[in-house]
Structure 1
Amino acid sequence: MNQIKGRQSTKFEKDVYILGCASVVGQKEGEGPLGDNFDKVVKDPMFGKKSWEEAESEMQAIAARLVLEKCQIKADDIRMVFAGDLLAQSIASCFGLVDLNRPLYGLFGACSTIGEAISLGAMAVAGGYANHVLSMTSSHFASVEKEFRFPLAYGNQKPPSSSWTVTGSGACVISSEKSNVKITGITSGKIVDFGLKDSQNMGACMAPAAADTISQNMADFDRNPGDYDRIITGDLGKIGREILIELMKQKGYDIRDNYLDCGMLIFDSNTQDTNAGGSGCGCAATVLASTLIPKLESGEWQRILFVPTGALMSKVSFFEGQSVPGIAQGVVLEYVGKEK
């Protein structure tokens, strides 16, 4: 059984499904265009805790409990967990998921983490190493500002190219148990570095990586953009979106007609002050769980290419004047109806 496809992709021979998803967001996200789609909107940004970091951990714990409840399984049914976040040493995931008492693989893919978590979860199920895997991630506006930029009390001004970190957690159960949505393949992303150093313009930093992964997916699976109902990136925002469209044209692909970006879907640019759009690990994860998967479950979409994107930077690399490399993880999701 050869599941290797082209240079960077995998086509699963064993059936791998998304059994269910859950999404938890903050008030600002709940006031956006997708507000009615989220499973839980929490108005208290502290989530009843004493610090921003504890709040993000609680958010992950809530999302994990919700998805298990929706899938009608117990924590003990989860063979392993793939999770990560933007905080140092992934403390939101480590402290948030400790009570699950399940084996954990901590990940860092920046804002592409949900793509990484789903890809690894799908490989584990396809390889026969698990029947149920929990793949999830989170971000919190205030904890990220504290980690990467300035404490909120500083009141720093952001340029138009910057993005607004989503307060949200998205969780998916990857399973061998049949559902309407199958993971049929993945395209693992490479680190792509165009030498850009502006961390306030992450869309531009990540767009080259998105173009690399999408074009490689087309080559590996011998497909064109029209073979997907939608190609959906994580959080490139308004600026990154236009850059990606131009880069894809240079590679011979026109994606404008069926291309969406989670960072532009989650907020209303006309009524919400979010600059270029949404970002953070929770951006793509919550949009996937709340909006994209339901469209596949209903059969409205038959096949999508989900490509969450990440800016691979840290406080250390930023202060040392390093560039901001990007990475993008591609996941092929398909509607399969009620298989027998």
Structure 2
Amino acid sequence: MAKKKIGKQTIQFIDPPSIISTTSIVGPKEGKGPLSQYFDIILDDDLYGEDSWEKAESKMVKEAVKLAAMQKKLHLEDIDYLFAGDLLNQLMSSSFAARDLRIPYFGLFGACSTMAESLSLAAIMIEGGFADYVVATTSSHFSSAERQFRFPLELGNQRPLTSQWTVTGAGAAILAPTEEKGPYITRITTGRVIDYGIKDANNMGAAMAPAAVDTIKAYFQDTGESPNDFDLIVTGDLGRIGNEIAIDLLRKEGMPINKTLKDCGVEIFDHAKQDTHAGGSGCGCSAVVFCGYLYKLLKKDIFKKILLVSTGALLSPTSIQQGESIPSIAHAVAIEGQLKG
């Protein structure tokens, strides 16, 4: 009998792991957005002193992990496992960072859901007694993602209004066994792959919204909680279009949570001033919004309880060229500033 599983898709931790440190690194465009004050490092140059965008993305991962460890006066040797993922083929950014960090490494691919996926697995590792310190990290880079999934930037292709701007950024969070101070990961809900038949790779918000709704619905069915128990339910990167679709679908499911539901892809950019069309996207989107903005407000007790629902479109250049639809997934992580009782 799985003692810590409740319902069909949710795990409830008996000894909730603590998130003891986070770091967020973002590019110049993200640093000009409304959340700039919450990021630890804002790059002046999206090449980060490297000679390719891919190397720059890998460097962001390395530096985010190192800084997160330094904040708690930890050495890299103190960290038992690294859970990391990105959008690139063979997890290039994460794997090359892991090569240099020399921490035992699990490479993850959940597309833009990877931050919640890495937090989920890191929490299981800690609460299961398999490690003392685990780092969960995720990254993306506008230019490396454009090169892989769309067109060479040099072509200057026009972007449809449904498209989203891949966030240049990396977030890292270190988890440890329950400490006196939070925030704490209390529950996780693992998503199912959902596919509503959307084939437009320039409208990923529409493809991912049903997955977000499916996971949010599963969380509340499994736990018996209600949206009113949370200060914020924040999806990963549905963007403006996907967020509107999610609100509508949730309303049809009998969960009108539009006042509580926010989206990292909407929050990270100023739509009126920065011309990001439908908003932000990418693995780094929910990573930097959580590790920067949300974590800091949890630490200050401004947010007492949030549900992070990172969303991912599980497409590839090959699947799109072959005319396949876009399967999507969302993972939910319940995070509380303080434990009850």
Residue 134 of structure 1 aligns to a residue in which SS? strand
Please give the residue correspondences for 1:293-312 in structure 2 after superposition, counting only pairs within 5 Å.
293-312=295-314
Please give the residue correspondences for 1:209-224 in structure 2 after superposition, counting only pairs within 5 Å.
209-224=211-226
Give the Cα–Cα distance (whole angstroms) in 1 for the partners of residues 53 and 303 of structure 2: 37
Quote the offset at 1:62 in angstroms. Answer: 1.1
Q: Which residue of 1 aligns with 2:43?
A: 42
Give the Cα–Cα distance (whole angstroms) in 1 for the partners of residues 64 and 298 of structure 2: 21
Deviations 1:163-195, CA, capped at 9 Å, x for gaps = 000000000001115132000000000000001
Is residue 30–residue 168 contact of structure 2 (8 Å, CA) maintained in 1?
Answer: yes
Deviations 1:70-110, CA, capped at 9 Å, x for gaps = 12211111111100100000010011232211100000000
Quote the offset at 1:117 in angstroms. Answer: 0.2
Give the AA of the match of 2:228.
Answer: G
Give the Cα–Cα distance (whole angstroms) in 2 for the partners of residues 105 and 70 of structure 1: 23
Quote the offset at 1:36 in angstroms. Answer: 1.3
Q: Which residue of 2 aligns with 1:287?
A: 289
Match of 2:209 among 193, 207, 210: 207
Question: Quick one: percent identity of the two aligned structures?
Answer: 46
Give the Cα–Cα distance (whole angstroms) in 1 for the partners of residues 59 and 84 of structure 2: 14
Please give the residue correspondences for 1:191-206 in structure 2 after superposition, counting only pairs within 5 Å.
191-206=193-208
Is residue 184–residue 338 contact of structure 2 (8 Å, CA) maintained in 1?
Answer: yes
Q: Which residue of 1 aligns with 2:57?
A: 56
Residue 94 of structure 1 aligns to a residue in which SS? helix
Please give the residue correspondences for 1:242-261 in structure 2 after superposition, counting only pairs within 5 Å.
242-261=244-263
Is residue 119–residue 331 contact of structure 1 (8 Å, CA) maintained in 2?
Answer: yes
Quote the offset at 1:154 in angstroms. Answer: 1.0
Please give the residue correspondences for 1:1-340 in structure 2 after superposition, counting only pairs within 5 Å.
2-178=3-179, 179-336=181-338
Please identify, of 55-64 and 200-209, the stretch whose mean Cα deviation from structure 2 is larger.
Answer: 55-64
Give the Cα–Cα distance (whole angstroms) in 1 for the partners of residues 102 and 292 of structure 2: 26
Is residue 19–residue 177 contact of structure 1 (8 Å, CA) maintained in 2?
Answer: no
Give the AA of the match of 2:297.
Answer: K
Is residue 131–residue 177 contact of structure 1 (8 Å, CA) maintained in 2?
Answer: no
Give the Cα–Cα distance (whole angstroms) in 1 for the partners of residues 280 and 315 of structure 2: 17
Give the Cα–Cα distance (whole angstroms) in 1 for the partners of residues 294 and 142 of structure 2: 23
Is residue 83–residue 106 contact of structure 2 (8 Å, CA) maintained in 1?
Answer: yes
- TM-score calculated relative to the size of structure 2: 0.98
Q: Indicate the RMSD between aligned Cα atoms, in angstroms.
A: 1.2
Give the Cα–Cα distance (whole angstroms) in 2 for the partners of residues 223 and 185 of structure 1: 12
- TM-score calculated relative to the size of structure 1: 0.98
Classify 1:312/1:24 alpha carbon distance in 2 versus 1 (closer, same or farther; 3 Å). same
User: Which 4+ residue blocks in structure 1 deviate beyond 4 angstroms?
Assistant: none
Deviations 1:3-52, CA, capped at 9 Å, x for gaps = 00101000001231101100000000000001111000011111111111
Is residue 178–residue 184 contact of structure 2 (8 Å, CA) maintained in 1?
Answer: no
Instruction: Point out where structure 1 has 5 or more consecutive residues left out of the alignment.
Output: none
Give the AA of the match of 1:228.
Answer: F
Give the AA of the match of 1:255.
Answer: I
Give the Cα–Cα distance (whole angstroms) in 2 for the partners of residues 197 and 38 of structure 1: 34
Give the Cα–Cα distance (whole angstroms) in 2 for the partners of residues 330 and 218 of structure 1: 11
Residue 97 of structure 1 aligns to a residue in which SS? helix
Give the AA of the match of 1:59.
Answer: M
Classify 1:224/1:177 alpha carbon distance in 2 versus 1 (closer, same or farther; 3 Å). closer
Give the AA of the match of 2:217.
Answer: S
Give the AA of the match of 2:304.
Answer: Q
Give the Cα–Cα distance (whole angstroms) in 1 for the partners of residues 50 and 303 of structure 2: 39
Residue 308 of structure 1 aligns to a residue in which SS? strand
Residue 54 of structure 1 aligns to a residue in which SS? helix
